[in-house]
Every structure is written in structure tokens, then in C-alpha cells.
């Protein structure tokens, strides 16, 4: 995409730009967490030799402290790392598996197409959260379980869209020309067709990031997350277990909840803006 087209896109899609800005801030927090966090997120702080429990917002503790005397702001900043780890890893896995299977099904057709389509239909019929909880109960739980569940349950969305796009692309004249020149099916798929569908796959990857973060938060809130990992979901679970709402400690549970909402919303804003970039005719409707 040329520079003029990028600038035109940025001006016409402020929501997509805002979503990208949110991701940029969260990435910056994750990378610089050790430097900008005022305290160790696991450190039990003390005030006047007493554990700093439920300390409200103050110049010393910008977002207060938890029931265990831990700094909320430090946990919030370090929680960005867990969100990015889960979100990006799951998104890459979803895009890789969904794109590969969609490419094979759309181009090869026949029994490959039927097999991928039937498996995708079965997976799409599985409820997301109960399936993740069952898998967590059968394993050790934690971040890896969330990533595996998100990948296993979300790849059909990408695969079906990529398959539809490939069905259209394989009938194009340049694909037929590649066949005539003696190109193998593998070369046509991965050298000629794949680059045409990668932007669409990336679009669904941004949506998968939001789903992965929500899944990690839900698993942690229900006690299936990794308690050793500082994440926004663990913060919410800790606040709920210690009745932060009834104590009026909104400074404990509102920041991680807002962070989750913003990061999920950023993914959907980017995907919505990218739809008009990939499919210009949508803007005329």
C-alpha cells in the first residue's frame, strides 16, 4: 500500500488509528514494565511498619494497594505482559492454522475441502467458555491452556473466510497462467495465492487477540489461571475474593477491568477499519 493510501486511510478511519494507539501504549507498558512500575508487583508493601492494606489513591500509591498490601499500579503495568503474551501468541496460532487449512480447502477442494469444512462446523458448535474450563480442569490450567483453547476454537472463523477468498482467487487468469507455465499446486498456493489472503488473515488475527484476552481474564477470574502470573484477570479474581466492591475499593478492580475493555475494543476497532481498507465497496453501502 502506497504512502498516500496509508495517509488517506488514517484520516478516514480514526477508530482504527485509536485502536492502534491503544495497542502501542500497552506494548510500551509491557516492554518498559520493569522500569516504569513503581514497585515489584508481588512485593508486600508497608506503611509505618504495617502492611499497606487497602490504601486509597495517594501520591505514594497512585492506584492504591490491595488487601495483601501490593501496589495496584505496578500489577496493572506488569499485567500488560500477560495480556500481550496470551493475545499475540493465540492470534498468531489462530491465523497460522486457519489460513493454512482455509488455503488447502479452498484450492485443493474435494475430500480436503469436505474434511476441513465438517471439522470446522463441529468446532464452531462447541461453547467457548465451558470448553475452556473443561480443558483447564483436565490439565494443569494456566496460560498455555488458554492459548490452546483459543486456537482450537477460533481457527474455523479464519479458515472459512480464507477458503471463500481462495475459491475466488483460484479461478483468476493469473492462477491459470501459473498452471500453464508448469507451477506445482504447492507453489501456486504458497507463492501466488497466499500473499493475496494474508491481509484478510491478519484482520481476523486482530479479533482473535481480543478473544484471547477475554478468555484469559475469564479463566483467571474463575480460578483456572496461573496464580504465579500477574495478569489483569488475576487482579480481578483477587479483588472479587477479597470483596473489594463491598469495601468500596474501586481503585483495585476498575483499572484492570478498564484495561481489558480497552484492549479488546482496540482489536475490534482495528478490524472494523481494516474491513474498509480490504473491501473498499463497503464504504459505498
**Where in the chain are the domains?**
31-279
The angle subtended at Cα 78 by Cα 97 and Cα 71, nearest 5°, is: 150
Angstrom distance (rounded) from CA 241 to CA 10 = 43
What is the predicted pLDDT for the residue at 149?
A: 82
| Phi/psi of residue 242, nearest 5 degrees | -100, 15
262's enclosing H/E stretch is helix 250-278
- Give residue 197's pLDDT: 86
Q: Nine-digit cell at 112?
A: 480436503
Please check whether the domain covering 31-279 is classified as CATH 1.10.3720.10. yes
**The cell 480442569 sits on which residue?**
137
pLDDT tens digits, 88-130: 888 889 889 999 999 999 988 889 999 999 999 999 888 877 8
| pLDDT value of residue 48 | 84
Question: Which helix (H) or strand (E) is 51 found in, with range?
Answer: strand 50-51
Q: Which three cell numbers mark 103?
A: 488455503
Alpha-carbon distance of 262 to 243, in angstroms, equals 24
| Residuewise pLDDT in 10s, the chain (285 residues) | 445 555 665 666 777 788 888 888 999 999 999 999 999 998 989 888 888 888 888 888 999 999 889 999 999 999 998 888 888 888 889 889 999 999 999 988 889 999 999 999 999 888 877 887 787 777 776 777 778 888 888 889 889 989 988 888 888 888 888 888 888 888 888 888 888 888 778 777 877 887 788 777 777 777 777 777 888 888 888 888 888 888 888 999 999 999 988 888 887 777 766 666 555 544 444
Q: What are the two backbone dihedrals, phi and then psi, of residue 47, each rounded to the nearest 5 degrees?
A: -130, 120
pTM: 0.78
- Could you tell me which residues are beta bridge partners of residue 46? 51
**pLDDT of amino acid 36:** 93
> For position 1, what pLDDT does the model report?
46
Amino acid at each position: 500500500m502506497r504512502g498516500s493510501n496509508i495517509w488517506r486511510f488514517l484520516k478516514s478511519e480514526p477508530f482504527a488509528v485509536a485502536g492502534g494507539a491503544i495497542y502501542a501504549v500497552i506494548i510500551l507498558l509491557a516492554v518498559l514494565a520493569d522500569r516504569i512500575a513503581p514497585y515489584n508487583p508481588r512485593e508486600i508493601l508497608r506503611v509505618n511498619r504495617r502492611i499497606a492494606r487497602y490504601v486509597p489513591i495517594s501520591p505514594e500509591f497512585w492506584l492504591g494497594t490491595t488487601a495483601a498490601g501490593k501496589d495496584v499500579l505496578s500489577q496493572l503495568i506488569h499485567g500488560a505482559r500477560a495480556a500481550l503474551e496470551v493475545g499475540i501468541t493465540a492470534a498468531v496460532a489462530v491465523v497460522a492454522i486457519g489460513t493454512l487449512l482455509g488455503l488447502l480447502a479452498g484450492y485443493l477442494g474435494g475430500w480436503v475441502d469436505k474434511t476441513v469444512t465438517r471439522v470446522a462446523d463441529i468446532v464452531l458448535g462447541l461453547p467457548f467458555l465451558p470448553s475452556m474450563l473443561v480443558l483447564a480442569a483436565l490439565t494443569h490450567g494456566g496460560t498455555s491452556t488458554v492459548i490452546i483453547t483459543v486456537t482450537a476454537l477460533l481457527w474455523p472463523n479464519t479458515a472459512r473466510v480464507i477458503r471463500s477468498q481462495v475459491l475466488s482467487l483460484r479461478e483468476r487468469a493469473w492462477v491459470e497462467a501459473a498452471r500453464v507455465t508448469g507451477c506445482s499446486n504447492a507453489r501456486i498456493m504458497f507463492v501466488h495465492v497466499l500473499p493475496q489472503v494474508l491481509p484478510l488473515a491478519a484482520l481476523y488475527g486482530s479479533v482473535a487477540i481480543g478473544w484471547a484476552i477475554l478468555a484469559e481474564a475469564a479463566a483467571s477470574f474463575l480460578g483456572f489461571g496461573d496464580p504465579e502470573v500477574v495478569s489483569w484477570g488475576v487482579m480481578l479474581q483477587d479483588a472479587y475474593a477479597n470483596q473489594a466492591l463491598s469495601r468500596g475499593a474501586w481503585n483495585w478492580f476498575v483499572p484492570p477491568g478498564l484495561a481489558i475493555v480497552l484492549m479488546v475494543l482496540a482489536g475490534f476497532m482495528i478490524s472494523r477499519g481494516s474491513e474498509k481498507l480490504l473491501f473498499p465497496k463497503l464504504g459505498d453501502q
